[in-house]
Amino acid sequence: MTPGQPAPKLQLTQTADYREGYANSVQMRVSLWDFFLMFGQANQTAADAVTIQNFQGVFLSPQQAKALSNLLLQNLSQYEATFGEIRLEAQGGQGGVIQ
């Protein structure tokens, strides 16, 4: 897009296989060419066991991953300004992994 040129009209549609789901677990793999996000639901099945059921994987180009990062940071800042700081606490004591 060149300066002074109006932005194109954006139309959002959904494919026949579009779906929404709740994820409380996201894992990421990174390669030279892309970022892979795997979304799932984590459930504590016993006092010492957590089961993660992954339901969707999404590949992003590095450019789209950075755009997503910027979008998330902007919206998290607005959320925290409205509702207060989001605190992350590691599970399982010191040195736990946040997923």
11: in domain: no
6: in domain: no
49: in domain: yes
d(CA 36, CA 54): 13
66: in domain: yes
- For residue range 40-80, list pLDDT tens digits in order: 999 998 999 999 999 999 999 999 999 999 999 999 999 99
Residue 14 has pLDDT above 90, yes or no: yes
Beta bridge partners of 51: 43
Model pTM score: 0.75
Give residue 53's domain range.
25-83
| DSSP assignments along the chain, one per residue | --TTSPPPPP-----TT------SEEEEEE-SS-EEEEEEEEEEEETTEEEEEEEEEEEE-HHHHHHHHHHHHHHHHHHHHHH-------TTSTTPPP-
4: in domain: no
Residue 24 has pLDDT above 70, yes or no: yes
Task: Tell me how many domains the chain contains.
Answer: 1
d(CA 52, CA 40): 6
Beta bridge partners of 71: none
44: in domain: yes
